[in-house]
Structure 1
Amino acid sequence: MSQNDVVTPRVLTVPNLVSFVRLLLVPVFGWLIATGHDGWAVVVLAVSGASDWLDGVLARRLHQVSRLGQLLDPAADRLFILVTLIGLVWRGAVPWWLLAVLVARDVLLAGLLVRLARAGWGPPPVHLAGKAGTFALLYAFPLLLLGQWADPLGSVAFVVGWACALWGVGLYWFAGALYLVQARGLLRDRTATA
């Protein structure tokens, strides 16, 4: 978001509609991955990834950056990541530790958001590192799903998927550390002015 973007309290915006559709796709994706419809699951993930980019572009271009949109977009990302990971762990495509590492970061940040809210602060602005980590993870998961397919596609998708997943985890935690530093500064400033 640039400095010229004004955050509005509007609810009915085009970007918010895109985010609502993304949220509706989460259970569809969960059902597809649980029932072994991998091809359609990959399509839904691709649509979700494209719409993640689209809602941000539309919000800026149409000057429809809203508080609701700032909450919906990361919520849809987190839900897709969680449902995808649970599905991939359940199917044996990825080890459980990957789920644990990503959920631990989100639990840590959820506690941070509660602490900030109690001090009168909203969520910190999203960092580029967080967006890049989410982007890498949202690309890693369909590739890891395709990694279960026959060679040569399966082998290539597996290697590229794990490369994206490891980069995504690193960026995800790096962004988490940036949020902690930012929150610490906000909370210290609040204490100093109190």
Structure 2
Amino acid sequence: MTDAHAPSSRVWTVPNALSAARLLGVPLFLWLVIVVEQDALAFALLMVSGLTDWLDGHLARILDQRSRLGALLDPIADRLYIFAVVVGLAWRDFIPWWVAVLLPLRDLLLWGLVPLLRTRGYSSLPVHFLGKAATFNLLYAFPLLLLGGGDSALATLANVFGWAFACWGISLYWWAGLLYAWQVRTLLHHTLPVPRGGGGRP
């Protein structure tokens, strides 16, 4: 018996289309921030990206259009947006470069755990709520930091709140990463390697 609510192999779904559109927005954001320095348009793009990030998951549930492709596209889009935004903001000196290095470094370390997971037949582990909270904070922080690049009172206020969200987001991002690494360690300790050609788990 198959689970009616399990992710399907469908590709052409509304949530997947929204995730693909978010991916196309990544190079556009970098062009707006670094090349033409159109901060207002870049800010609007981040707002639209945040809305579609919530909307694709919401539609996947209410339309019953959850898919394996969507489960990959959504976190990939989140990671690429985080990477693009920290590079763009660091390039414009809105944030220090150590922030731009710290966030991708966490993802790089976690990607290094994937071959270990595959020895146990897994391609990934379930996303923890701390990771979702971290992404939520960071996706709020970056538009505020972008808005905080001016000299007005509004820019100062945006900068303060932006850094508050950023500090929480960075801390939760690494906490979630360490928790994920601990889960991998536990899995390796309590399970046996899967024989070659023995298939894998989702």
The alignment's TM-score, normalised by the length of structure 2, stands at 0.90
The structure that has the greater radius of gyration is 2
Shift of 1:4: 7.2
Corresponding position: 1:138 with 2:149: no
Partner Cα separation in structure 1 for residue 150 and residue 69 of structure 2: 39
Partner Cα separation in structure 1 for residue 193 and residue 45 of structure 2: 48
Which blocks of at least 5 consecutive residues in structure 2 are unaligned? 196-202
How big is each residue's C-alpha offset from its partner over 1:42-77, in whole Å with a ceiling of 9 and x where there is no partner?
A: 000000011001111111111111111111001101
More divergent stretch after superposition (99-108 vs 36-45) = 99-108
Q: RMSD over aligned Cα, in angstroms?
A: 1.7
8 Å CA contact retained: 2:25, 2:45: yes
Shift of 1:189: 2.8
Corresponding position: 1:111 with 2:112: yes
Identity %: 52
How big is each residue's C-alpha offset from its partner over 1:162-185, in whole Å with a ceiling of 9 and x where there is no partner?
A: 000000001101111121122222
Which residue does the alignment assign to 2:126?
Answer: 125
Which residue does the alignment assign to 2:192?
Answer: 191
Which residue does the alignment assign to 1:156?
Answer: 157
CA spacing shift, 1:58–1:155, aligned 2, 3 Å: same
**Greater share of helix residues, 1 or 2?**
1
8 Å CA contact retained: 1:6, 1:63: no
Amino acid at match of 2:20: F
Moved over 6 A (4+): none
Partner Cα separation in structure 1 for residue 120 and residue 31 of structure 2: 40
Q: Where in structure 2 are the equivalents of 1:168-187 lying within 5 Å? A: 168-187=169-188
Which residue does the alignment assign to 1:6?
Answer: 6
8 Å CA contact retained: 1:20, 1:72: yes
Which blocks of at least 5 consecutive residues in structure 1 are unaligned? none
